[in-house]
Structure 1
Amino acid sequence: MAAAPPIRDLTDRARDVFRLVVDSYLANGAPVGSKTLAQASGLNLSPASIRAVMGELEERGLLASPHTSAGRLPTDLGLRLFVDGMMQAMEPTADERAQIAGRADRSGGPVEDAIAATTAALSGLSACAGLVMVPKRELRLRSIGFVPLSRDQALAVLVSEDGSVENRVLQLPPGIGGSALVEAGNYMSAVLSGLTLVEARARVEREIAAGHAAIDGAARALVEQGLAVWSEDGARRPVLIVRGQGRLLDAGAAADLDRVRDLLDDLEGKQDVARLLDSARAGDATRIFIGAENKLFALSGSSVIAKPFRGLDGEVVGVVGVIGPTRLNYARVVPIVDFTAATLARLMG
Structure 2
Amino acid sequence: MQLDIRAQTLLKALVERYVADGQPVGSRALSKISGLDLSPATIRNIMADLEEMGFVASPHTSAGRVPTPRGYRFFVDTLMTVQPIDESTLESKLQLRFAGAGSSQKAISSAAQVLSSLSQFAGVVMTPRHESVFQQIEFLRLSERRILLVIVAPNGDVQNRLLLTDVDYTPSQLTQAANYINQHYAGFSFDQVRTRLQNEIVQLRDDMTRLMQAAVEAGSAAMSENEEDVVISGERNLLGVSDLASNMTSLRKLFDLFEQKTGLMQILDMSSKASGVQIFIGGDSQLMPVDEMSVVTAPYEVNGKVVGTLGVIGPTRMAYERVIPIVDITAKLLSNALSPSRMP
Kindly provide the CA deviation profile for residues 5-62 of structure 1, in whole angstroms up to 9, marking residues without a partner as x: 23xx2341x3333222211221133323345545766666666554443222111100
> Once the 2 structures are TM-superposed, how far is the Cα of residue 73 of structure 1 from its aligned partner?
0.8
Alignment of 1:144-183 (within 5 A): 144-145=138-139, 156-169=149-162, 172=164, 176=166, 179-180=168-169
Distance 1:55 1:204 in 2: 73
Distance 1:245 1:338 in 2: 20
Instruction: Mark the CA change 1:63 to 1:300 in structure 2 (over 3 Å): closer, same or farther.
Output: closer
Paired residues of 2:276 and 2:328 also in contact (CA < 8 A): no
Paired residues of 1:260 and 1:300 also in contact (CA < 8 A): no
Which residue does 1:204 correspond to in 2? 197
Kindly provide the CA deviation profile for residues 291-321 of structure 1, in whole angstroms up to 9, marking residues without a partner as x: 1232232435211222223443x43233222
Paired residues of 1:65 and 1:71 also in contact (CA < 8 A): yes
> Once the 2 structures are TM-superposed, how far is the Cα of residue 267 of structure 1 from its aligned partner?
2.5
Distance 1:159 1:184 in 2: 20
Distance 1:317 1:98 in 2: 24
Instruction: Mark the CA change 1:88 to 1:204 in structure 2 (over 3 Å): closer, same or farther.
Output: same
Paired residues of 1:131 and 1:321 also in contact (CA < 8 A): yes
- Name the aligned partner's letter for residue 70 of structure 2: L
Distance 1:268 1:33 in 2: 39
Matched, 1:344 2:334: yes
Distance 2:173 2:68 in 1: 64
Distance 2:94 2:181 in 1: 37
Alignment of 1:250-261 (within 5 A): 250-252=240-242, 253-261=244-252
Which residue does 1:214 correspond to in 2? 205
Which residue does 1:119 correspond to in 2? 112
Matched, 1:265 2:253: no
Matched, 1:240 2:230: yes
Alignment of 1:6-21 (within 5 A): 6=2, 9-12=3-6, 14-21=7-14
- Name the aligned partner's letter for residue 192 of structure 1: I
Matched, 1:327 2:317: yes
> Once the 2 structures are TM-superposed, how far is the Cα of residue 251 of structure 1 from its aligned partner?
4.6
- State the TM-score, normalized to the length of structure 1: 0.80
- State the TM-score, normalized to the length of structure 2: 0.81
Matched, 1:105 2:105: no
Kindly provide the CA deviation profile for residues 151-203 of structure 1, in whole angstroms up to 9, marking residues without a partner as x: 99865432335432212355x36xx36x2385774354211122432343234
> Once the 2 structures are TM-superposed, how far is the Cα of residue 220 of structure 1 from its aligned partner?
4.3
Distance 2:257 2:266 in 1: 12
Instruction: Mark the CA change 1:65 to 1:155 in structure 2 (over 3 Å): closer, same or farther.
Output: farther
Distance 2:110 2:233 in 1: 9
> Once the 2 structures are TM-superposed, how far is the Cα of residue 80 of structure 1 from its aligned partner?
0.8
- Name the aligned partner's letter for residue 341 of structure 1: A
Instruction: Mark the CA change 1:162 to 1:311 in structure 2 (over 3 Å): closer, same or farther.
Output: closer
Matched, 1:33 2:26: yes
> Once the 2 structures are TM-superposed, how far is the Cα of residue 121 of structure 1 from its aligned partner?
1.1
> Once the 2 structures are TM-superposed, how far is the Cα of residue 89 of structure 1 from its aligned partner?
0.8
Gaps of 5+ in 1: none
> Once the 2 structures are TM-superposed, how far is the Cα of residue 221 of structure 1 from its aligned partner?
3.8
Distance 1:263 1:183 in 2: 56
> Once the 2 structures are TM-superposed, how far is the Cα of residue 326 of structure 1 from its aligned partner?
0.8
Q: Name the count of aligned residue pairs.
A: 331
Correspondent of 1:135 among 126, 129, 137? 129
Distance 2:176 2:200 in 1: 12
